[in-house]
Amino acid sequence: MPKISADKLNTELAKGTTAPVYLLTGEDLYRKAQVIKQLRNLLNPDDFNFFKAEPTSQDISEALSQANTAPVFSNVRLIIINGVDKLRKGSKEQLALIKYAQNPLPTTTLVLTHHDSKKLKTDKTLADACSETGRVVNFDELKADDLATWTRQYMSAQGLKPSFEAVDLLCESVGSDLQALANEVEKLSLFTANREDKTITAQDVLACIGFKKDENPFELSNALTACSKGRALAQIDKLIDGGEEPVAVLAKMTYPILKMARIKRFSEAGMAQADILHAAGLMFWESRLVQNARNFPPSKNFMLALNKIIETDAGFKSGASLDPKTALKGIVLTLLK
């Protein structure tokens, strides 16, 4: 049984197909926990046939002892060992796991979680053993389009109908922590519980994550990508007057300007829209930015603005006597002359 994708694993479990050994790798703890939940629901082991262990000598010894024992008044036994990446390469515990994985008991399902992708690249012995008799499935943290797709599908499964802007805003606000995203989606479900129309807008997301209607945390970024000098300057005033740290405002400016600079460079090189989206690391609904590239400032403006960003960042961090508004607005005025 070779290494498989997370999607293929979900398809197998949906059909009721299981393997005697699973090695779940990668940093995404949420999706691995969901797989374990699926297996528990599918196999439905009672307390006599379920054991959860940590990667200690005593726990692994007990786990393998149970794994090698036929289930009690049942057809299956489920054993879970979390964090096997903590085991030292070549240790007796790791060697014992490898030996078992090479010849597992058919009535036992053994699930191992491994959270260190770098370590797995230098020590593939356990993964190789598990791939021979079971399933090795990688769960890296989702990024860009994959994160947006997961969020949209998860929201749809909860009966919600999110707009592209709502998904974009939710992903940018929360990041790639799927548990945190799931929590925010639950809040959105409660927020719209009395609505007949379950369409979720960006304003709904802002309300649920604690921002007032006129406090969109991405307004400065949106103003810059829209090349709206007046909006950007007004937002700098609002943020600084509201107590935002100058270095934090600078960070909010840097990302969209870098994104625009990449799009401008690829567009001037004659790349197709789809290729620009991929090369610039954009989400699929950001195609509007690519379409608007013709309205972006000249490339020389981006170079001058990026140099000012570097100078301003150094000034803020060194404690130089810079006036925050003047320095930050200087970047906007250099970019959007």
Listed in sequence order, the residues at least 6 apart from 231 whose beta carbon sits closer than 8 Å to its beta carbon are: 219, 222, 223
Domains in the chain: ranges and CATH: 6-138 (3.40.50.300), 144-208 (1.10.8.60), 219-335 (1.20.272.10)
Percent of the chain at pLDDT > 70 equals 96
What b/e sequence results for 265-287 when a residue is b if at least 16 CB atoms lie within 10 Å of its CB, and e otherwise?
A: bbbeeebeeeebbeebebbeebe
Do residues 264 and 302 make contact, with C-beta atoms less than 8 angstroms apart?
A: yes
- pLDDT level of residue 130 (50, 70, 90 thresholds): very high
Kindly compute the dihedral angle of the four CA atoms of residues 262, 267, 270, 276, in this order, to the nearest 10 degrees: 60
Report whether pLDDT(247) > 50.
Answer: yes
Q: State pLDDT tens for residues 183-199.
A: 899 999 998 888 889 99
Q: Residue 141 has what pLDDT?
A: 86
Report whether pLDDT(320) > 50.
Answer: yes
CB half-sphere exposure, 132, CA atoms < 13 A:
12
Its sign, for the CA torsion 54, 56, 60, 63, is negative
Burial class (CB in 10 A: 0-12, 13-18, 19+), 121: exposed
Q: Residue 9 has what pLDDT?
A: 94
Q: Residue 284 has what pLDDT?
A: 64
d(CA 294, CA 291) in angstroms, rounded, equals 7
Report whether pLDDT(214) > 70.
Answer: no
Q: State pLDDT tens for residues 256-283.
A: 899 899 999 998 888 888 888 878 777 6
Q: State pLDDT tens for residues 155-173.
A: 999 999 999 889 988 887 7
Distance set, CA 212 to CA 96, 173, 203, 207, 208 (Å): 56, 14, 9, 6, 9
Burial class (CB in 10 A: 0-12, 13-18, 19+), 198: middle
Do residues 4 and 23 make contact, with C-beta atoms less than 8 angstroms apart?
A: no
Report whether pLDDT(213) > 60.
Answer: no
